[in-house]
């Protein structure tokens, strides 16, 4: 469940996001999920990749401000009620979500698509214990 996410500080200008994503492409780093939050002048790009440490390295070489952040990946249970239930599990533990974003992933060889949520909470291990006890699992990415 616990994974590392790349957080990139980027200027809010035309073409900058494309330049950064091109670095991933040029270096054959797969992107599983991404989110961007911005203001008038800058943004924070959050990316889950197959190689977070290498991604951080190649971005840093390009003088891009980047960091690694621990987050949790959680597979939503089938049936459409996964996200509210995930949030209820965390709330029962008194845990709040700093931010989250979602993505879908096709399971290799199974032909089915699973929905995943990336969560940033203050107490990762406590959240993982509570979610695991409630029957949730996550996806572990390369790195």
On whether the CB atoms of residues 77 and 60 are closer than 8 A, the answer is no
* Confidence (pTM): 0.84
| Domain parsing of the chain, residue ranges | 2-70, 71-133
- Rounded Cα distance, 85 and 91, in Å: 10
Residue 4 is encoded by which pair of tokens?
Answer: 């590392």
Q: Are 35 and 102 in contact (CB under 8 A)?
A: no
Query: What integer is the mean pLDDT of 108-124?
Result: 82
Share of the chain above pLDDT 90, in %: 64
| Mean pLDDT, all residues of the chain | 89
**CATH code, 71-133:** 3.30.2130.10
Tell me which fold the domain 2-70 belongs to.
VC0802-like (3.30.2130)
Q: What's the first-to-final CA gap in the chain, in angstroms? A: 14
Say if CB 16 and CB 42 are below 8 A apart.
no
Q: Which of 29-38, 70-79, 94-103 has the lowest mean pLDDT?
A: 70-79
Burial grade of 119 (CB within 10 A; 0-12, 13-18, 19 or more): buried
Specify the 3-state DSSP secondary structure of 59. helix
Which of the listed ranges 3-12, 98-107, 108-117 does the model predict with the highest average pLDDT? 3-12
DSSP letter (8 states) at residue 15: T
pLDDT digits (tens, 9 = 90+) for 13-60: 889 999 999 999 999 999 999 999 887 788 999 999 999 999 999 999
Split at pLDDT 50, 70, 90, the class of 143 is very low
């Amino acid at each position: 469940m616990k994974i590392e996410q790349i957080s990139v500080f980027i200027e809010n200008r035309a073409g900058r996001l494309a330049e950064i994503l091109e670095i991933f492409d040029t270096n054959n780093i797969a992107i599983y999920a991404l989110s961007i939050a911005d203001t008038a002048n800058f943004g924070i790009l959050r990316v889950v990749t197959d190689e977070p440490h290498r991604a951080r390295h190649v971005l840093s070489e390009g003088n891009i401000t980047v960091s690694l952040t621990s987050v949790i990946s959680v597979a939503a249970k089938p049936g459409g009620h996964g996200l509210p239930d995930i949030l209820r599990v965390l709330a029962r533990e008194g845990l709040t979500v700093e931010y989250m974003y979602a993505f879908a992933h096709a399971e290799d060889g199974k032909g089915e698509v699973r929905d995943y949520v990336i969560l940033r909470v203050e107490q990762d291990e406590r959240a993982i214990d509570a979610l695991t006890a409630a029957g949730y699992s996550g996806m572990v990415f390369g790195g």
